[in-house]
Structure formats: C-alpha cells, structure tokens
Amino acid sequence: YAAYLFDYRNFGDSEGEPRHWVSPRRHLQDWAAAIAHVRSLPEVDADRMVLWGTSFSGGHVIQTAAADHRVRAVIAQVPHVSGLASMKQVPVHLLLRMMLAAMRDLCGSVIRREHYSPIIGRHGDMAALTGDDAWHGYARLLPAGTAWENKVLSRIFLEVPLYSPIRHAHKVAAPTLIVAGTRDTI
C-alpha cells in the first residue's frame, strides 16, 4: 500500500502567491497533477488508485473520479457536494457582504492587494465556514503551535456557489463510499 498526501498550491509547504487561495478549479488541477505524479512512480500500481477526501476535498474526489475512470474507488467523508445549497443557508445581509469582499479581492488582485476574509467563524459571522461545528471542529484539527492563519482570499465567495460536484456524481464509474455526518451542521 502507498498513500500520497499533498498540499494545494498556495497552501502549506507548496509554493504559489497569493497565499490562502481556495479555488475549486485550481484544486481539481492539483488533484490531476498529483494523480499523474503518483501514476508515474514505479513502486505504485497505477491501476489500483483510490481517492480519499474530506469536506471540500470530498467533493473534489467525486468530481475527479467522474473525469478519470482509471480511479478504482472513492472515499468521500462529509463531502461538499452543492455550492448553491450551502449558500442558501447564508442570510442575505451576509451574502451581500461576501460579494462585496469578493469584488474587493478581485479588483485588488490587479495591483496585488488581495483581500482576505476569515475561513472559519461563529454563527452569524462573515466567513467561509460558520457555526460552532466549524469554529470548534476546525480548531481541534490544528496541531499545537501551528502557524495557521484564519484567512482565505475573499474570491472564494464567488467560486463556491458555482461548485457542485454532485452534478458530476453520475459519471463516477468506481465504487464510492460517501460518509455523511448525521449531526454535521457545516
């Protein structure tokens, strides 16, 4: 067995500027590049690849397997499957603030003055993920002494509503395990 773990570009030890850029399109490209790299390794059986993702990456593995029928199995833990459904939970006044932040980020990016918003917040905050589960759950995953910053490029608010891996799920040919949290509020 082999496992391959990677950081998306603009995150962690990966290169890329600006930092903290969550983009479904770019993440899917990174998945394709990681898969191509792993398939090129002589010690890996390229015909027995399983994709595993959680939350946002759970949606990515569904969409990646829909496009790549060489994938042999998929495990998606509490996957993001519908951007539109996730945005329906957001009050209108916060949606407006999110759109303004996203436009500020896009306009600022022209002169390299990107705008960031919190990635996690409490219920009622303007953030990419909100609620007690987001705040406490995310914080629990962080190793002690980590240099993690609670920020993401605000353009995420324009991309996420349009990203719905569920639209591609019918094209997945591999056996797929979807683990849904019965008390997941995110």
pLDDT tens column, 64-109: 999 999 999 999 999 999 999 888 889 999 999 999 999 999 999 9
pLDDT tens column, 111-168: 999 999 999 998 889 999 887 777 777 777 788 888 888 999 999 999 999 999 999 9
- Orientation of helix 56-67 relative to helix 24-40, angle to 10°: 60
Q: What is the pTM of this model?
A: 0.91
**Is the model's pLDDT at 175 over the cut of 90?**
yes
Ordered structural domains, the chain, with CATH: 8-82+164-186 (3.40.50.1820), 83-162 (no CATH)
Token readout for 18 is 């600006």
* Integer Cα distance of 154 and 22 in angstroms: 9
Using the structure block, give the residue that is written with the tokens 């997945």: 172
